[in-house]
Amino acid sequence: MSKRRAVLLLRERFRSCFLAHRGDRPTSIHRLQAASPHCSSVATSSSSCRASPHQEFLAMEHGLWSSGASDKNKAMVEQLQRYGVIKSSKVAEVMETIDRGLFVPQGGSPYFDSPMAIGYNATISAPHMHAACLELLEDHLQPGMRALDVGSGTGYLTACFALMVGPGGRAVGVEHIPELVASSAENIKKSAAAPQLNDGSLSIHIADGREGWPELAPYDCIHVGAAAPQIPEALIEQLKPGGRMVIPVGTIFQELKVVDKKLDGGVSIRDETSVRYVPLTSKDAQLHSN
């Protein structure tokens, strides 16, 4: 097991214990529950799962909801740093600059480490998954590079990409629900990425994400925010030699895969961690899924 996977699984174990203790149920999940068996009855038996992680999360929650929005967002990032999910100072800076609260529907809990429903049978990923993907893609999100965000949803991660590649690069979001494209543009206009939406170095398009966005290919990095049964060939083709894609793959059981395209055009694929995402599918299938 990789060191990063061990950290994320430990992180999820603590979160699972906290949710079990409170009796909460997130609206949906992007990661498989990875708690050990002695976390399953945390409310009655497991003091090791109930004590320090529970107290730590209660302290975090109290701090978040008794402060202003910018402080809440900063506290969320600091918590991800404490758990080792964020190691890069650049990733921390970008996630502090792009306020997640601007990208979660009203009434949600944007700074709580859980995915949130955004309508249309879609979700915005949990903060730790966004952080993990930014960490994996950081070397391919340098100034002047091109990034594609498939299933851009509320626009949060696309805005983060835009800040990282800068106005000399291109950040492209693809989303097949027109209403989400329209609302994501409004979200971005309120954020630190607004100047790049205005100058065109950040754009969101209505399209089937399985086909990518060939007009601006090739991309130094591609992020896919929904699980495909297999990696779409169109996305591999649009990945630049030397580039990287992160994509969840699978149906019932899913793995976050890291796809690196070599300079000679060859492709290497490795599993990063087990995850649980909504499916990458057609617009009609998404809207009519149960």
- From the centroid of its chain, how far is CA 80? 13
In this structure, which amino acid lies at residue 34?
Answer: A
How many CB atoms lie under 10 A from the CB of residue 235? Answer: 24
Annotation marks residue 125 as catalytic = yes
**What is the Cβ-side half-sphere exposure of residue 5, based on CA atoms within 13 angstroms?**
14
The 10 Å Cβ neighbour count of residue 277 is 25
Q: CA 10 to CA 223: how far, in whole Å? A: 24
Radius of gyration of the chain from its Cα atoms, rounded to whole angstroms:
18
Spatial CA neighbour of 207 closest among 187, 229, 232, 189: 232
Q: Which residue has the tokens 């990287």?
A: 244
Q: Helices 156-165 and 89-97, interaxial angle, to 10°?
A: 120
Closest CA to 180 of 224, 118, 108, 223: 118
Which of 125, 183, 191, 203 is catalytic? The answer is 125
User: What is the C-alpha to C-alpha distance for residues 54 and 6, in angstroms, rounded to an integer?
Assistant: 20
Give me the phi and psi of 163, to 5 degrees please. Answer: -65, -35
* Catalytic positions, written as ranges: 125
